[in-house]
Structure 1
Amino acid sequence: MQLAVLGIGLALAGFGVFMAQSYVSQTQDAIAAVNARQASQPQMETTDIYVAARNLRYGEPIREADVRAVAWPRHALPQGAFSDLATLMPDATRPRIALRAMEANEPVLEIKVSRPGQPAGIAAQLSHGMRAFTIRVDSNSGISGALRPSDLVDIYWTGRGEQGEVTRLLSSGVRIIALDENADQDRTFSGTPRSITIEAAPELVATMAQGQSTGRLSLSVVGLDDTTALGIFQVDRRNILGVEAPRAETVAERCTVRTRRGSEVVMIEIPCTN
């Protein structure tokens, strides 16, 4: 009996050893297969770029301790990323300023920071070749609700034209850069601001300056995903009432020549040669 129990124990022990060896062998084969696949795949090229080392708020100066370098896939580099610390911080005494809030590990981009030593004011928000223009607004300007810098608006002028009062679209998709001189893009302004500063080309600035002095400007907020291209148009009282503009009467051209008959001067109609 004891010999039978011993035999069964040895058999079970041998089976356990066999199963363990089989499991180890299968695991080693799986690891080898994964390593072989990884070795056959091309290595992803990366480059170091600088990201925020902590949460950064609008207006904060960016110091060396506020950023860190991380490896980033070369084929997916964000536009305007900094890969060189000397470019990001050329002068420690003149730091760049955060123009937008950045979360930890978010790439630091040129569009999100000021130039070295430049404050986080309206001038830092302007694109190359553009100008800032401030529009006076009130409850009749078409603007209400929650607004913030970076929103887009259409600009309309209402004033006296040749056919009476008209409303004309001056420009579409103009970017707001400040509300009441506040350029923080992460701050939502509730209610109606006293003024809105927009970014515009010099020609549009001149047009709006003339518009403010000869009539009133109204604004209409553009949707976030709206890419509709609007042409310049105008509306007057006839458009609202559905009245067609009167047709101009065609006046036939008449050509005459003066001739004297005795003491009398007579106008004689002749065919026009022009």
Structure 2
Amino acid sequence: MQLTSILLAALGLSVAGGSAYLAHGVMESRSVPPAAQTEPDLVEVMVATRDIAYGEAIDGEMVAAHPWPTGALPSGAFTRVADILPPEGDEPRRARTTILRGQPILADHVSAFGERLTIVQTLGENGRAMAINVDAETAAGGFVRPGDYVDVVLTQGSGAEMTAATILQNIRIIAVDQDADGQSDTPQVLRTVTVEVTADQGQSLALAQRAGRLSLMLRNFGSASDTAPRAIRLSDMFGEEEEPEPQIVVVEEPAPVPPPPRTVTVRRGVEVETVAMQDGS
């Protein structure tokens, strides 16, 4: 009996000691502060303090430094305000596109110091800029914006003989009225759309404007030019069959057969001779 009591007491002391040791370990682990997290390397990046419109001159009130992770630094970002603002007395940079508030200002977003911004700078090699007279109805409801691509459709004629034909495909819009900035999504009442064309396309477009009415069809971004649809007439839409034109058959009468020549038989003794008579004889 005494031996049993002694064993139970020893077991109780062992359990209590183990519990105390575990509790001490937990308390120590809680008292040790977590390892300090490594702060990312930061660099100052110049960002816009307000929305900057296309063509607007950039001054010191539009730019501020903002910390930015070095590993996520955008390509072409300015890290010094002196790289954006001109030296005293020099011409400023201008925004090539709309720059939103809080957006990093990149080299592609701004012009050189004193550089004049024109749509010519947006043309590709051998590109030409040409204006088309349009309205909301012919310009996809006014949703055509700079940077969009369109097909140009010519409508001409009247009545059942009215025709529509796609004359140009995948043509880039470079300006709408006097606006060459494509950031706005608000539909506008348009009067003129400027497109980029080749010299040959420009000649075709000039003729088409005089021949009839031009309409613009918006294309999906990145879609390649496909085979232009065939021209259709108004009568084609209603399935009207074209009546064959009456054909005139010309029957040529055979040339009259000349009458046989008149002859005279002359007898001289036993000789007989047939002589042809001439007219008037």
Alignment correspondent of 1:28? 32
1:236 aligns with one of 225, 231, 238: 231
Aligned equivalents of 1:107, 1:95: Cα separation in 2: 18
TM-score, length basis structure 1:
0.57
Verify the 8 A CA contact 2:45 2:78 in the aligned structure 1: yes
Alignment correspondent of 1:56? 52
Distance 1:228 1:73, change over 3 A: same
**Aligned-partner SS, 2:132:** strand
Higher mean displacement: 150-159 or 101-110: 150-159
> Is 1:177 equivalent to 2:174 in the alignment?
yes
Alignment correspondent of 2:129? 132
Aligned equivalents of 2:165, 2:107: Cα separation in 1: 39
Verify the 8 A CA contact 2:95 2:109 in the aligned structure 1: yes
Corresponding letter in the other structure for 2:146: P
Give the 5 Å matches for 1:154-173.
154-158=151-155, 165=163, 167-172=165-170
Quote the offset at 1:135 in angstroms: 0.7
Query: C-alpha deviations, 1:103-132, integer Å up to 9, x for none?
Result: 3331213443334324555445x2443432
Distance 1:208 1:24, change over 3 A: farther
Quote the offset at 1:137 in angstroms: 1.1
Aligned equivalents of 1:159, 1:234: Cα separation in 2: 16
Distance 1:237 1:46, change over 3 A: same
1:116 aligns with one of 113, 118, 132: 113
Long gaps (5+) in structure 2: 1-22, 243-281
Quote the offset at 1:61 in angstroms: 1.0
**Aligned-partner SS, 2:140:** coil
Verify the 8 A CA contact 1:95 1:116 in the aligned structure 2: yes
Aligned equivalents of 2:137, 2:103: Cα separation in 1: 40
Verify the 8 A CA contact 2:175 2:194 in the aligned structure 1: yes
Verify the 8 A CA contact 1:169 1:232 in the aligned structure 2: no
Aligned equivalents of 1:73, 1:200: Cα separation in 2: 43
Verify the 8 A CA contact 2:140 2:218 in the aligned structure 1: yes
Verify the 8 A CA contact 1:55 1:104 in the aligned structure 2: yes
Aligned equivalents of 2:73, 2:197: Cα separation in 1: 30
Verify the 8 A CA contact 2:45 2:68 in the aligned structure 1: yes
> Is 1:199 equivalent to 2:203 in the alignment?
no
Aligned residues: 213
Give the 5 Å matches for 1:65-104.
65-70=61-66, 72=68, 76-83=72-79, 88-89=84-85, 93-104=90-101
Distance 1:64 1:27, change over 3 A: farther
Aligned equivalents of 2:56, 2:219: Cα separation in 1: 30
Query: C-alpha deviations, 1:17-61, integer Å up to 9, x for none?
Result: xx99965752425x13x55xx4xxxx9677654322333233421
**Aligned-partner SS, 1:212:** helix
**Aligned-partner SS, 1:134:** strand
Aligned equivalents of 1:166, 1:175: Cα separation in 2: 21
Quote the offset at 1:152 in angstroms: 3.2
Verify the 8 A CA contact 2:52 2:99 in the aligned structure 1: yes
Distance 1:22 1:236, change over 3 A: closer
Alignment correspondent of 2:18? none
Identity across aligned pairs (percent)? 30
Aligned equivalents of 1:185, 1:169: Cα separation in 2: 25
Long gaps (5+) in structure 1: 1-18, 246-274
Alignment correspondent of 2:273? none
Distance 1:67 1:26, change over 3 A: same
Query: C-alpha deviations, 1:119-150, integer Å up to 9, x for none?
Result: 555445x2443432211113662532444433
Alignment correspondent of 2:222? 227
Quote the offset at 1:168 in angstroms: 2.3
